[in-house]
């Protein structure tokens, strides 16, 4: 906009608007320069982790040619149906406009929270855009499902890629076809778009040239101040972990101590976000002497750490707990990948004749990877080879790659939706503790990541011929301690049937399985006070498959915590005087939890 135009706006009484517009243009120019500079800082891209390898496209192309050759009528029918529906959408919109009606034709589209704005229903332009998008999406998905593909892995990969394309091309992801963003821009005289550009520049600058949307207001939370505040002290520290002992809140406690191994893919304070949903506080209130491991966020110096080093840390932490409490045995909990590693540790202890673990609990833990579910696309050799290249470059599977991979399992909720709110609506990220934790990702040591991906996930060695570690060949059948496993009904990271299948193969004679409602986090962080999600229990055993177990199970309202608490109390020994942590190295939550991934 020229100075002459601005002057003309001032003369006709729009001085505030003209001044604001001039300021916004100046801000946009400055932000544009910063954005280009930030993008220039990006490392050389690694094609292996940017998208599927060429083999997937070749497989899809071969499937298309095969289907066209063998079933031409089917392919032609699909095309005719698609173009017929497209023309019908256009004709209905044209008819409404020709009649001078700025209203859309009747719309029987299924409910979709992306299209909540009434204009998607009432305005002929937006309604046409929405209907055509849904038509395109349906056509793409049906075409992908109709391809003649060589195996189920190829079908899952093609389906996954198709769904990613469909989600990415939603009209809500583009300013010109997003009524919410356009309304906000008009309402704020363009200020929302400038704020959105500021948010984009901030994210690109903070992530080394990568566009990673911030999910939560990082200034709203400080670990140890308003989240992760359960009182305790760091009793022990190594280069890899800190061991935190929590202060008792009862006069007596169970004799047998309890140690929790959280996943090192994220940080342990998911178990202590706030007092009302803190599993850590709840366990202390049940009379357990509780220890929790806080893992170090690895740097490139940790590149050569492997699964054996983490198992060594498990054993070291257990030794320290036994020394501090004077108890020969303890109970242990492993969450997600830490549950997988706890299972390996239990198998190792069994082979060594070491009975230090009295009973174990597994939260959302995979040990049999014969079904890879939604991770199928990420566990094929093209992607794993890309990760291996990342490891060679950086010594790590960096937090940014791990977070992006997890986010694209739920792209609309964790990628496109937050990007729309931040970059197009100009909104400040929400002050949401769970999303804050989700964004506080960690690196993985390169050697450990490849051992896990190749040995456990791709080769499924633990459930098969045996996973070789520390001079032993470890198998699921070696796990023989009393066991309680909790899985979550809608968990997309560790599907409950896959969790069940691994537990079914373990050698323990005393096995309990609990199926919680909800997902990987909400199903576990489910305090009794909320009365939100129920759970399923069954005495049917593990002999007839997961579906039969589920059919025979009974439903119980509310949290599974009390049921597990009873199971744990029966295996935790008599009550003794409460054990108070010594002053230790520093107060909980310790030092390592504050390390941010570079």
Q: Annotated catalytic, 336? A: yes
Residue 105 confidence (pLDDT): 64
Q: Residue 49, SS3?
A: helix
Do 300 and 394 touch, CB atoms closer than 8 A?
A: yes
- pLDDT, one tens digit per residue, over 252-296 is 999 999 999 999 999 999 999 999 999 999 999 999 999 999 999
DSSP string, 284-352: HHTT--EEEEEE----GGGTT--HHHHHHHHHHHHHHHHHHHT-S-EEEEEETHHHHHHHHHHHHHHHH
Q: Residue 142, SS3?
A: helix
pLDDT confidence bin for 1, thresholds 50/70/90: very low
Residue of 328 and 377 predicted with greater confidence:
328
- pLDDT, one tens digit per residue, over 482-530 is 999 999 999 989 999 999 999 999 999 999 999 999 999 999 999 999 8
Residue 447 confidence (pLDDT): 96
Percent of the chain with pLDDT over 90: 64
- The dihedrals phi and psi of 555, each to the nearest 5 degrees, come to -95, 140
Number of residues that make up the chain: 598
- The dihedrals phi and psi of 107, each to the nearest 5 degrees, come to -125, 115
Q: Spot the catalytic one: 336, 457, 488, 499.
A: 336
Q: What is the DSSP letter of 423?
A: I
């Amino acid at each position: 906009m020229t100075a002459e135009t601005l002057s003309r706006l001032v003369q006709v009484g729009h001085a505030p608007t003209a001044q604001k517009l001039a300021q916004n243009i100046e801000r946009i120019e400055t932000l544009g320069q910063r954005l280009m500079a930030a993008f220039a800082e990006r490392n050389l891209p690694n094609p292996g982790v940017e998208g599927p390898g060429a083999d997937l496209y070749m497989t899809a192309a071969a499937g298309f040619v095969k289907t066209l050759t063998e079933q031409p009528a089917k392919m032609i029918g699909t095309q005719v149906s698609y173009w017929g529906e497209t023309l019908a959408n256009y004709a209905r919109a044209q008819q409404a406009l020709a009649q001078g009606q700025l209203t859309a034709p009747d719309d029987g589209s299924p409910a979709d929270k992306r299209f909540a704005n009434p204009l998607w229903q009432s305005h002929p332009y937006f309604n046409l855009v929405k209907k055509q998008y849904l038509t395109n999406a349906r056509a793409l998905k049906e075409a992908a499902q109709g391809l003649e593909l060589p195996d189920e892995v190829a079908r899952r990969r093609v389906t996954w890629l198709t769904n990613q394309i469909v989600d990415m091309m939603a009209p809500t992801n583009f300013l010109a076809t997003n009524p919410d963003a356009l309304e906000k821009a008009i309402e704020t005289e363009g200020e929302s778009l400038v704020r959105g550009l500021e948010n984009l520049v901030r994210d690109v600058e903070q992530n080394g040239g990568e566009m990673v949307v911030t999910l939560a207001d990082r200034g709203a939370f400080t670990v140890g101040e308003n989240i992760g505040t359960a009182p305790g002290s760091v009793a022990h520290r190594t280069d890899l972990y800190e061991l935190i002992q929590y202060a008792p809140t009862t006069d007596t406690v169970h004799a047998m101590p309890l140690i929790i191994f959280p996943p090192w893919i994220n940080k342990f304070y998911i178990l202590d976000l706030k007092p009302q949903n803190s599993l850590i506080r709840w366990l202390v209130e049940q009379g357990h002497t509780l220890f929790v491991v806080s893992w170090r966020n690895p740097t490139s110096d940790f590149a050569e750490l492997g699964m054996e080093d983490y198992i060594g840390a498990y054993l070291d932490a257990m030794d320290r707990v036994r020394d501090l409490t004077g108890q020969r045995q303890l109970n242990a909990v492993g969450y997600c990948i830490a549950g997988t590693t706890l299972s390996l540790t239990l198998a190792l202890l069994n082979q060594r004749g070491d009975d230090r673990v009295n009973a174990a609990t597994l939260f959302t833990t995979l040990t049999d990877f014969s079904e890879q579910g939604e991770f199928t696309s990420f566990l094929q050799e093209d992607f794993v080879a890309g990760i291996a290249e990342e490891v060679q470059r950086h010594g790590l599977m960096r937090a940014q790659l791990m977070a992006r991979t997890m986010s694209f399992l739920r792209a609309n909720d964790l990628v496109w939706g937050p990007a729309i709110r931040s970059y197009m609506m100009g909104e400040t990220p929400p002050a949401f503790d769970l999303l804050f934790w989700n964004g506080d990702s960690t690196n993985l040591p390169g050697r450990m990541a490849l051992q896990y991906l190749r040995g456990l996930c791709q080769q499924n060695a633990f459930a098969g011929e045996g996973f070789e570690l520390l001079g032993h060949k470890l198998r699921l059948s070696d796990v023989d301690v009393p066991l309680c496993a909790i899985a979550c009904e809608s968990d997309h990271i560790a599907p409950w049937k896959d969790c069940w299948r691994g537990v079914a193969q373990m050698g323990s004679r005393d096995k309990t399985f609990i199926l919680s409602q909800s997902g990987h986090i909400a199903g576990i962080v489910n305090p009794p006070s909320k009365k939100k999600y129920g759970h399923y229990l069954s005495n049917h055993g593990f002999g007839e498959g997961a579906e039969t177990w589920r059919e025979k199970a009974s439903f119980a309202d509310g949290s599974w915590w009390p049921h597990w608490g009873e199971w744990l109390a029966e295996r935790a020994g008599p009550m003794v005087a409460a054990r108070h942590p010594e002053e230790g190295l520093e107060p909980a939550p310790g030092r390592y939890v504050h390390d941010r991934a570079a």
